[in-house]
RNA sequence: GGGCGCGUAGCUCAACGGCAGAGCAGUGGCCUUUUAAGCCAUUGGUUGGAGGUUCGAAUCCUCCCGCGCUCACCA
């Protein structure tokens, strides 16, 4: 990335302008600015004073990035944009003097940040504008913004020929955000989602906690971890793949309701639903079981939807989705039957189930356990069809080493997953709190881990010790915030809801 | 990892075996209520990279790099 030494013609021209300003004694990057209103406030205040038929003109000092310039001889129109909207500047030789007008005309460019003051007024065309009496550069832009031009249509800014190449948009997210207002909006929604979730959790008497990202033993999910190393301690560490085992230790410690919103890291495939690091909400609720957590999940998402979307309905990739109705609760085996025609109870072992799946031409990974096969079938055949909010419940034990079995069937665990828009958004279960049962689950996993299934996690002795002190019965829950954001912002790719998504390293 | 597709000016895109172009941006000029302002003129390219085929390659072939979609893998 040697661009700084390889300027384009446009950049060289702007550097010359910058040098000229400096030569004239004008600092193009001053440390302080003045501002009386945001653009949106100024427009609102002006419209209010207009209604009151106030004789006193409204004065304003505004700041923003120049988004368009229209020069017409001795007057110049320009739009500036701040974080709250855009507003038109009107610069006229009569008000400024020809010299100042020429200064703007010759040395100010689209992309520059400027400060301008004067009186608010309405142009002949009816647009609320600032009649500029004074202006100054507050940050000169060297590189042209990757967008052509703005158009104002009925008060809405239409941006033409704007940055569209997804690779450039992700690699230079700053440029993407600078020119694509709809991208900024996605991240406002994302922030509103986490805010609403925190508000809800806090209102339900949960305490927000932070647990280690760097962990000596990883666990809580089926995934391969990233590995790192502490130099002084000469100790290998893992980036967490879930928060689960630490959060449940806190229940042992006496907290009844804990949650954490933070980053998980999984060293696995990257695609439109998976980024190597992603944001999870996990919570653990003492004295609740998975049925209670299902109810809670509905309440939580209903609240979040109302807060963020202002209602319960939204459209995802052409499908209308309503959070306001009770989520159907379907037993996993029923869902599999409905979408594949396979009766799980007719295939009690991996070999017979694999044969049944092969008969249907489903992909069957070699050496997979029965639980893994069911999980695969779920992902490929069932999940994409679950558009409306739906819970599937009662999962196979082999793929749920931290969940409590059904009293009536040790091979099935009290676990559910929530689906929406064709993908999984949350996963929850009645947490296993029997240290002896947990030990045997770990041992089972360790055997499989040695046998080569790298996604299983190793024994966590300390977690078992914690559990031996006594862990209250509890329901636990995890939800991908990125995926919820995809749903609420109608984005098909997880990269659109992550500010700086991971991309392959590029030699520059 | 497999398949398909894409990569051309700062941005958005044409040209698809025969002189590498347009709009916007930029630069110079005209223009005192414009709003993708308009008008005149004009700068800007190792066509992602390296090889090959050909009289001639942005275009066809091979490899490499990157991205997208998809399958596989994967919560």
Which residues have C-beta within 8 Å of that of residue A31, sequence separation ≥ 6? Answer: none
As a whole number, mean pLDDT of residues A334-352 equals 90
Using CB atoms within 10 A of its CB, is residue A437 exposed (0-12), middle (13-18) or buried (19+)?
middle
Where are the domains positioned within chain A? 3-160, 184-328+388-497
CATH topology of domain A184-328+388-497: BirA Bifunctional Protein; domain 2 (3.30.930)
User: Is A324 (CB) below 7 Å from strand B?
Assistant: no
Q: From the CA of A221, how many Å to the C1' of B75?
A: 8
Q: Which nucleotides of B are covered by protein (CB under 7 A)?
A: 10-13, 23-28, 30-38, 43-44, 65-75
Residue-level pLDDT at A359: 85
- Encoded tokens for A255: 């907290």
Residue-level pLDDT at A434: 96
As a whole number, mean pLDDT of residues A455-471 equals 88
Q: From the CA of A39, how many Å to the C1' of B36?
A: 22
User: Is A124 (CB) below 7 Å from strand B?
Assistant: yes
Q: ∠ CA(A131), CA(A137), CA(A142), 5° rounding? A: 125
Residue-level pLDDT at A268: 86
Of the two residues A131 and A370, the one the predictor is more confident about is A131
Q: How many CB atoms lie within 10 A of CB A148?
A: 14
Domain spanning A3-160, CATH architecture: Beta Barrel (2.40)
Q: From the CA of A312, how many Å to the C1' of B40?
A: 57
- Please identify residues in chain A, positions 477-496, with a C-beta within 7 angstroms of any atom of strand B: 492-493, 495
Tens digits of per-residue pLDDT, A241-290? 999 999 999 999 999 999 999 999 998 888 888 999 999 999 999 999 99
As a whole number, mean pLDDT of residues A169-190 equals 93
Using CB atoms within 10 A of its CB, is residue A359 exposed (0-12), middle (13-18) or buried (19+)?
exposed
- Please identify residues in chain A, positions 265-284, with a C-beta within 7 angstroms of any atom of strand B: 266, 268-269, 271-274
Tens digits of per-residue pLDDT, A13-38? 999 999 999 999 999 999 999 999 99
Tens digits of per-residue pLDDT, A433-460? 999 999 998 888 777 766 666 666 678 9
- Chain centroid to CA A456: 27
As a whole number, mean pLDDT of residues A351-366 equals 86
pLDDT of A1 strictly over 70: no
pLDDT of A292 strictly over 80: yes
Of the two residues A76 and A446, the one the predictor is more confident about is A76
Residue-level pLDDT at A2: 33
User: Is A422 (CB) below 7 Å from strand B?
Assistant: no
User: Is A317 (CB) below 7 Å from strand B?
Assistant: no
- Nucleotide closest to residue A395 (CA–C1'): B75
pLDDT of A140 strictly over 60: yes
Q: From the CA of A251, how many Å to the C1' of B64?
A: 54
Of the two residues A390 and A358, the one the predictor is more confident about is A390
Which residues, listed in sequence order, are joined to residue A262 by a DSSP beta bridge? Answer: A280
Instruction: Tell me the CB-side half-sphere exposure of residue A310, using CA atoms within 13 A.
Output: 1
Residue-level pLDDT at A450: 63
Of the two residues A199 and A271, the one the predictor is more confident about is A199
- Please identify residues in chain A, positions 217-246, with a C-beta within 7 angstroms of any atom of strand B: 221-223
Residue-level pLDDT at A302: 97
């Amino acid at each position: 990335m040697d661009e700084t030494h390889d300027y384009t013609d446009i950049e060289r021209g702007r550097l010359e302008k910058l040098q000229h300003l400096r030569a004239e004694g004008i600092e193009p990057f001053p440390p302080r600015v003045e501002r009386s209103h945001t653009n949106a406030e100024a427009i609102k205040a002006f419209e209010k004073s207009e209604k009151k038929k106030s004789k006193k003109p409204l004065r304003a000092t505004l700041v923003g990035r120049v988004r368009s310039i229209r020069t017409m001889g001795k007057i110049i129109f320009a739009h500036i944009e701040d974080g709250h909207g855009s507003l038109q500047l009107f610069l006229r030789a009569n008000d400024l003097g020809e010299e100042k007008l020429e200064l703007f005309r010759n040395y100010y460019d689209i992309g520059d940040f400027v400060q301008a003051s004067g009186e608010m007024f309405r142009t002949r065309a009816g647009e609320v504008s600032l009649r500029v009496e004074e202006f100054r550069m507050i940050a000169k832009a060297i590189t042209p913004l990757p967008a052509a031009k703005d158009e104002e249509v009925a008060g809405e800014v239409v941006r033409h020929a704007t940055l569209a190449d997804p690779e450039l948009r992700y690699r230079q997210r700053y440029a993407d955000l600078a020119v694509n207002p709809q991208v900024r909006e996605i991240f406002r929604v994302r922030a509103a989602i986490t805010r609403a979730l925190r508000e809800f959790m806090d209102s339900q008497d949960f305490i927000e906690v932070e647990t280690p990202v760097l962990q000596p033993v990883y666990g809580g999910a089926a995934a391969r971890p990233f590995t790192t190393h502490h130099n002084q301690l000469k100790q290998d560490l893992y980036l967490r793949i879930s928060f689960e085992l630490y959060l449940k230790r806190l229940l042992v410690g006496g907290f009844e309701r804990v949650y954490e919103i933070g980053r998980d890291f999984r060293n696995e495939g990257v695609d439109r639903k998976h980024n190597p690091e992603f944001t999870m909400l996990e919570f653990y609720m003492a004295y609740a079981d998975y049925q209670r957590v299902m109810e809670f999940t509905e309440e939580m998402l209903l609240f979040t939807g109302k807060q963020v979307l202002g209602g319960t309905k939204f459209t995802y990739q052409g499908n209308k989705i309503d959070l306001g109705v009770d989520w159907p609760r379907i037993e996993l085996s029923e869902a599999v039957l409905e979408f594949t025609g396979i009766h799980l109870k007719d295939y009690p072992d991996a070999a017979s189930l694999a044969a049944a799946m092969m008969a249907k031409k489903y992909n069957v990974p070699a050496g997979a356990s029965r639980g893994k096969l069911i999980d695969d079938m779920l992902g490929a055949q069932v999940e994409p069809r679950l558009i409306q909010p739906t819970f599937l419940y009662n999962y196979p034990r082999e793929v749920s080493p931290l969940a409590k079995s059904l009293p009536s069937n040790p091979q099935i665990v009290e676990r559910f997953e929530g689906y929406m828009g064709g993908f999984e958004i949350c996963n929850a279960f009645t947490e296993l709190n029997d240290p002896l049962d947990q030990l045997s689950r770990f041992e089972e996993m360790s055997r499989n881990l040695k046998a080569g299934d790298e996604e299983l996690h190793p024994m966590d002795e300390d977690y078992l010790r914690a559990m031996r002190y006594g862990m209250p019965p509890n329901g636990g829950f995890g939800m991908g915030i990125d995926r919820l954001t995809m749903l609420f912002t109608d984005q098909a790719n997880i990269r659109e809801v992550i500010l700086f998504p991971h991309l392959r390293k590029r030699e520059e």
